[in-house]
Structure 1
Amino acid sequence: MALQLGKPPRTPKPAAADRPPIHPKARKGWAVVAVLPFLDHRPDGGDAHLGEGIADEVLQALNHLEGLQAVSRTTSFRYGGSALSPAAVGRHLHATAVLAGSLRKEDRLLTLKADLVDVKSGRVAWSKAYAFDRQDLFATLDDMIRCVASALHVPATIRPRYAVDLEAYECYLKGRQHYFRFNRHGMRSAAQLYRRSLDLDPSFPSAWAGLANCAAYTYIYIDRTEPQRELAESCSRKALELDPELAEAHASRGAALSAAGLVEEAEAAFETALRLDPNLFEAAYFYARHCLAAGKPERAIEYFEWAAALRPEDFQAILLVAQIYHSLGLEDEARRARRAGLSLVEERLEHAPDDVRARYLGANALVALGERDKGLAWARMARAQDPDDPMLLYNLGCIHALAGAPEESLDCLEQAAAGGLTQKDWFLHDGDLDGVRSHPRFQALMARLGS
């Protein structure tokens, strides 16, 4: 469900023509469709990433059709493999119809079975089995999208997409899984997979965008060296050259421009991405991070909330927006967001206890909510898992600052900067560091980071 976080302070907004559209809501009379992951028939579930990727492609295309609203990926994907019937899932999600299916991959042949179930009657409104060569994946998905739209009495205008090689596409999907871990090991693995995707298919724009994102993240948070910035620049430019209408490409361009310190140019790129695809999480999320680093907390709130609405199970956006509310003195909103985010973290750690980012962001929320001892225990657990990661060390600095331990905070911040996290704007604008900002060691660190 969408998180209600309260309203940010009233601030002048850009003219409507210069701002991206608000996140779309279901409109009266529109059909609402939920798309479930295509189930993998392999006993080991080795193609589950492909089943999710195919469902995501279909979902995104359906969500761009006039007269049709798709349930968000993260909301509907929770029901993948559920014992509930598609009609029961649809009732849970308040959907008009549910698209469910299965896949089987054998050498060059891929088999897809798709069923569109009418939620009210429980009957199958449309069904089709496809068997096709690996090069024909997107052409097959385009046919599926047209058929689903027709069954729902919605006109379908589909933007042509690049017909990527299936193996390259799978490398790209696996790369995204690593990328969203948001740590140095994940970035390294994601970059390797994106490069492998491009070795197989050098004209795949999404893989170029993914590699640009890895380089931009690495430059900002891990290894602030010119080769990383140049890689983000060249890869994002290549993605746009290959597909100027691809929202992912504009989002990666925004990340690259943000890394280069080009504030207005980055904002224009992020807003273009969100105009092209208002459901692109990374566009809203990284736009919010850009706004925060640029000293625009009210705008950061807007886009973190947008990102949180796109991925209701994501703990990152909601906990980061809580920190901004705190820095602006909006303590009721901060507490509400932290409690909501902490609940998501606890749910995440039940299934993935080794998720370091969940652990340290949860530790921050615990300390801020007054559970100091538990929060510091979680912080120690996170550090034991990856003691030298610069992003982890920076966040530990924030946690210790909130806990009233300035020397421990500054130890971590200095180590984070020594490890490569040298984006000065974060240190300057992060409200969690207010307790150490006047400390001589903090001021000396800022002087070392330069302009």
Structure 2
Amino acid sequence: MALQLGKSPRSSKAAPAKRGPVHPKARKAQAVVAVLPFLDQRPGGADSHLSEGIAEEVLQALNHLEDLQVVSRTTSFRYGGSALSPLAVGRRLHATAILAGTLRKEASLLTLKAELVEVKSGRVTWSKAYAFDRQDLFKTLDDLIACVASALHVPTFIRPRYAVDLEAYESYLRGRQAYFRFNRQGMRSAAEMYRRALDLDPDFPSAWAGLANCAAFTYIYIDRTEPQRELAESCSRKALELDPDLAEAHASRGVALSAAGLVDEAEAAFETALRLDPNLFAAAYFYARHCFANGKLERAIEYFEWAAALRPEDFQAILLVAQVYHSLGLEDEAERARRTGLALVEERLERVPEDVRARYLGANALVALGEREKGLDWARKARSMDPDDPMLLYNLGCIHALAGDPEESLDCLERAAAGGLSQKDWFIHDGDLDAIRSHPRFQALMARLGS
């Protein structure tokens, strides 16, 4: 792609046209269900990651059913362990029904108790206690999901899933949690967890997909070496070989192909993932990032908005789409998205004040909205937490460019590139950097990053 050192293209005439797979249509839901995290019965919450992961599996499966609306994960999960009764939570969330339960793990035996409560009447419409061995986890969950769907009078089809070893599944859950921190430490932890899962269960396709994602991230943002690119390619291919119909594997393949610069092949993989599972956040989110990096800004808006609709609680997609709107000169839309995303960031930081990514993406929104000093204060706090992370440094470069600090911006961008962030196309198309494009240091940095 030719280097463009002038302003990014601007257009304020029209919203982006729709392309690609068909977005899930708004459902005329006959029921609205909220899923609470299953309460971990072990002292100290030693298995809380598993109890939440299982509840999320159930939530995502229910979210695929026609005629059923599912309250978003973050909205419902904030009531996990609440002093409020499930019935009171259901009324607060305007749900038709609420699913709650408990989990206890003792050695290889698990006990799962679940009940579905009709909010209007307070009546328990379905309940069941399961005692099962570790290898029967997904078989048990399939039965639970089918029973809940039946109690809610909605049709169900459950796609057969790989019966993963429980310990491998737990490692996968920990890896996925670490991955979405989007920093070096998170990638190392995620890769370690995915490798542990594969040591325990070498045929676990989701773990292969996760490891491919880690390698692709590392190649783009930390260590642009052939071994990382090859690892992303081989792991994503392995995931597809193990399960050709797994949307997660196709999304992972798209990420790997995008990292390798194979634009059309990556798009085909992402679109396949979304055809297989239009509700897969990772497919929409990473497709959007791919489109933005390749200058397809209207399509990036489409898929960032798609991802934001799938996870209304996620601050990343909505704040990134704000930047794309800004790059296209759609300032009203940019402000709307920034204010929405900033509210989500503030809510996140109340619960997890150490979330560096929330802090710096929120700082960007604050500066762009005119709250310069508060935004720069948040940026300083983020930098104090992880001062050498390339992704953080790149975003600090954007923040300081918006704030009118060109030299500080360029210092951060140069350090980000020296630390391994080498996705030149993102530099080219990011409207946050417009103020410094003509600066000799920026042009020199683009020349060093090559073609």
Residue 306 of structure 1: CA displacement?
1.6
In the alignment, does 2:312 pair up with 1:312?
yes
Instruction: Write the distance in 2 (CA, Å) between the matches of 1:285 and 1:87.
Output: 34
Report the more deviating stretch, 235-244 or 379-388: 379-388
Q: Which amino acid in the other structure matches residue 78 of structure 2?
A: R
Q: 1:105 to 1:24 in 2, by over 3 A?
A: farther
Tell me what 1:286 maps to. 286
Instruction: Write the distance in 2 (CA, Å) between the matches of 1:168 and 1:228.
Output: 23
Q: 1:12 to 1:303 in 2, by over 3 A?
A: closer
Q: Which amino acid in the other structure matches residue 107 of structure 2?
A: D
Tell me what 1:326 maps to. 326
Report the more deviating stretch, 437-446 or 104-113: 437-446
Q: Which amino acid in the other structure matches residue 22 of structure 1?
A: H
In the alignment, does 2:117 pair up with 1:117?
yes
List aligned pairs for 1:61-76, cutoff 5 A: 61-76=61-76
Instruction: Write the distance in 2 (CA, Å) between the matches of 1:175 and 1:248.
Output: 15
List aligned pairs for 1:158-237, cutoff 5 A: 158-237=158-237
Tell me what 1:344 maps to. 344
Q: Which amino acid in the other structure matches residue 127 of structure 1?
A: S
Counterpart secondary structure, 2:435:
coil
Cα-to-partner distance string for 1:353-399 (whole Å, 9 max, x where unaligned): 22111111111112111222222222222112111111111111111
List aligned pairs for 1:392-407, cutoff 5 A: 392-407=392-407
Tell me what 2:267 maps to. 267
Cα-to-partner distance string for 1:324-374 (whole Å, 9 max, x where unaligned): 111111222222222222222222222222211111111111211122222
Instruction: Write the distance in 2 (CA, Å) between the matches of 1:211 and 1:331.
Output: 38
Residue 33 of structure 1: CA displacement?
2.1
Instruction: Write the distance in 2 (CA, Å) between the matches of 1:95 and 1:21.
Output: 27
Q: Flag structure 2 segments of 5+ consecutive residues without an equivalent.
A: 1-11
Instruction: Write the distance in 2 (CA, Å) between the matches of 1:159 and 1:447.
Output: 49
Residue 8 of structure 1: CA displacement?
9.2
Counterpart secondary structure, 2:308:
helix
Q: 1:12 to 1:334 in 2, by over 3 A?
A: closer
Q: Which amino acid in the other structure matches residue 431 of structure 1?
A: G
Instruction: Write the distance in 2 (CA, Å) between the matches of 1:211 and 1:344.
Output: 29
In the alignment, does 2:430 pair up with 1:430?
yes
Q: In the alignment, is the contact (CA less than 8 A) between 2:64 and 2:279 conserved in 1? A: no
Counterpart secondary structure, 1:434:
helix
Counterpart secondary structure, 2:114:
strand
Tell me what 1:20 maps to. 21
Q: 1:444 to 1:251 in 2, by over 3 A?
A: same
TM-score for the superposition, normalised by structure 2: 0.94
Q: 1:337 to 1:82 in 2, by over 3 A?
A: same
Tell me what 1:380 maps to. 380
Q: In the alignment, is the contact (CA less than 8 A) between 1:75 and 1:311 conserved in 2? A: no
Instruction: Write the distance in 2 (CA, Å) between the matches of 1:241 and 1:361.
Output: 37
Instruction: Write the distance in 1 (CA, Å) between the matches of 2:117 and 2:275.
Output: 31
Report the more deviating stretch, 142-151 or 178-187: 142-151
Tell me what 2:140 maps to. 140
Q: Which amino acid in the other structure matches residue 323 of structure 1?
A: Q
Cα-to-partner distance string for 1:4-28 (whole Å, 9 max, x where unaligned): xxx99344443xxxx2231343315
Tell me what 1:355 maps to. 355
Tell me what 1:4 maps to. none
Instruction: Write the distance in 2 (CA, Å) between the matches of 1:223 and 1:181.
Output: 17
Instruction: Write the distance in 2 (CA, Å) between the matches of 1:246 and 1:78.
Output: 29
CA RMSD after TM alignment: 1.6
Q: In the alignment, is the contact (CA less than 8 A) between 1:23 and 1:306 conserved in 2? A: no
Q: In the alignment, is the contact (CA less than 8 A) between 1:26 and 1:32 conserved in 2? A: no
Instruction: Write the distance in 1 (CA, Å) between the matches of 2:373 and 2:309.
Output: 31
Q: 1:422 to 1:360 in 2, by over 3 A?
A: same
Instruction: Write the distance in 2 (CA, Å) between the matches of 1:373 and 1:254.
Output: 39
Q: In the alignment, is the contact (CA less than 8 A) between 1:9 and 1:298 conserved in 2? A: no
Residue 156 of structure 1: CA displacement?
2.7
Tell me what 1:246 maps to. 246
Instruction: Write the distance in 2 (CA, Å) between the matches of 1:382 and 1:66.
Output: 42
Instruction: Write the distance in 1 (CA, Å) between the matches of 2:71 and 2:351.
Output: 24
Instruction: Write the distance in 2 (CA, Å) between the matches of 1:307 and 1:39.
Output: 28
In the alignment, does 2:91 pair up with 1:95?
no
Cα-to-partner distance string for 1:232-253 (whole Å, 9 max, x where unaligned): 1111111111111111111111
Tell me what 2:298 maps to. 298
Counterpart secondary structure, 2:34:
strand
Tell me what 2:152 maps to. 152
How many aligned positions are there? 440
Report the more deviating stretch, 70-79 or 37-46: 70-79
Instruction: Write the distance in 1 (CA, Å) between the matches of 2:81 and 2:183.
Output: 29
Instruction: Write the distance in 1 (CA, Å) between the matches of 2:146 and 2:400.
Output: 54
List aligned pairs for 1:34-53, cutoff 5 A: 34-53=34-53
Identity value in percent: 83
Cα-to-partner distance string for 1:409-449 (whole Å, 9 max, x where unaligned): 11111111111001110110000000111111111111111
Q: 1:163 to 1:8 in 2, by over 3 A?
A: farther
Report the more deviating stretch, 239-248 or 429-438: 239-248
Q: 1:352 to 1:39 in 2, by over 3 A?
A: same
Residue 293 of structure 1: CA displacement?
0.3
Q: In the alignment, is the contact (CA less than 8 A) between 1:56 and 1:73 conserved in 2? A: yes
Tell me what 2:3 maps to. none
Q: In the alignment, is the contact (CA less than 8 A) between 2:72 and 2:313 conserved in 1? A: no
Tell me what 2:8 maps to. none
Instruction: Write the distance in 1 (CA, Å) between the matches of 2:154 and 2:18.
Output: 35
